Amino acid sequence: MGTIYSPSRSKEIFRQIKRSIPYYVLLLIPVVYLFIFKYMPMWGLQIAFRDFRSNLPIHQMPWRGLDYFQQFFSSHLFWDLIRNTVTIAFYSLLAGFPIPIILAICLNECRSQRFKKSVQMVTYMPYFISTVILVSMIFQFTEMETGIVNFFRRSLDLPPIAFMSQASYFRHIYVWTGVWQTTGYSAIIYLAALSGVSQELYDAAKVDGCNKLKRIWHVDLPCITPTIIILLVLNISSLINVSFEKIFLMQTPANRVVSEVLSTYVYQVGVVGSNYSFATAAGMFNSVVAFLLVIAGNYTARRLSETSLW
């Protein structure tokens, strides 16, 4: 039997590594970024189990165990926070997930390249609007006296509505403005997947007598199903993670009963209230549940189909 680590083989491996040094250097940049900004902060998770003292290193802070978790779970706001977070996230998922797929399929069937690119540009541009600008637009458009929405209501002899001061409108405004902003960007992924569908499949479907709707159902959707499943699994984690910036900027005293979610609660308790240990425990609970949702979603996708993240 020949030896595995022969001198010639070792030299060849060394030459391959030497030739790949530029690629290892490029790989080093994201690895260092992940280590510094993603893994090193995990050291601070100890604060959830300790009594925070700003004048002491983390490992010297008094140990409190699960006390802050118990305080969070027994809080009178706990179930309200869970209900608000899950309701908004689930509503966003139901409303926002299928629309990019529909848009991508419609654009893929469009034969006019000029019209197709125009629609792509118009639907893609809102994605570049910052959250602050978007929320400012929402407040201005829904303003009771000068807002364009109430202007049209008055033109139809309907009474004006203070949308941002009524809790019943908050979730609808949050979700559908998000759909408007992100649909064009999300559709790009599905368009890329549709561009890889073989023309032979379309030709075979036409020979079999399939019209456009049947070709979409039997060719397009099956071909992009792996992409849909992967994105769905990734979006499942958002059932417990809701955008902090937009929620926080849209909050008013009148709609706080439905707009107070886990992320804004952590900010109010941790940053405003300076209760860092309690806020860290709440944030850690949020992250653990999101992680478990991704695991469960990936397991379900693997059982129901042949596609999964891992």
- Using 50, 70 and 90 to split pLDDT, how confident is the model at 4? low
Class of domain 47-304: mainly alpha
Q: Is the pLDDT of residue 80 over 80?
A: yes
Looking at per-residue pLDDT, the higher value among 49 and 302 belongs to 49
Q: What is the DSSP string of the chain?
A: ---SS-HHHHHHHHHHHHHTHHHHHHHHHHHHHHIIIIIGGGGGGGGGGB---TTS-GGGSPB-TTHHHHHHHTSTTHHHHHHHHHHHHHHHHHHHTHHHHHHHHHHHH---HHHHHHHHHHHHGGGGS-HHHHHHHHHHHT-TTT-HHHHHHHHTT-----GGG-HHHHHHHHHHHHHHHHHHHHHHHHHHHHHTS-HHHHHHHHHTT--HHHHIIIIIHHHHHHHHHHHHHHHHGGGT---HHHHHHH--TTTHHHH--HHHHHHIIIIIS--HHHHHHHHHHHHHHHHHHHHHHHHHHHHHSS----
Residue 117 exposure: Cα atoms within 13 Å on the Cβ side: 3
46-59 per-position pLDDT tens digit:
999 999 988 888 88
Contacts of 218 (CB under 8 A, 6+ apart): 205, 210
Strand partners, 26: none
Q: Specify the residue for token string 């490029």.
A: 26
Radius of gyration of the chain from its Cα atoms, rounded to whole angstroms: 26
Is the pTM here over 0.85, yes or no? Answer: no
Boundaries of every domain in the chain = 47-304
At 48, list the tokens.
Answer: 């959830």
- pLDDT for the residue numbered 1: 46
Q: For 146-197, write each residue's pLDDT tens digit.
A: 889 999 999 999 999 989 888 999 999 999 999 999 999 999 999 989 988 8
What does the mean pLDDT of the chain come to? 87
In the chain, pLDDT over 70 holds for what percent of residues? 98
Distance CA 258, CA 91 (A): 13
- The neighbour count for residue 307, using CB atoms within 10 Å, is 15
- Please tell me the distance from the alpha carbon of residue 290 to that of residue 297, in angstroms, as a whole number: 10
- The rounded distance, in Å, linking the Cα atoms of 234 and 91 is 16
> Is pLDDT of 2 > 60?
no
Instruction: Considering only residues 237 and 13, tell me which one the structure prediction assigns the higher pLDDT.
Output: 13
Beta bridge partners of 63: 50
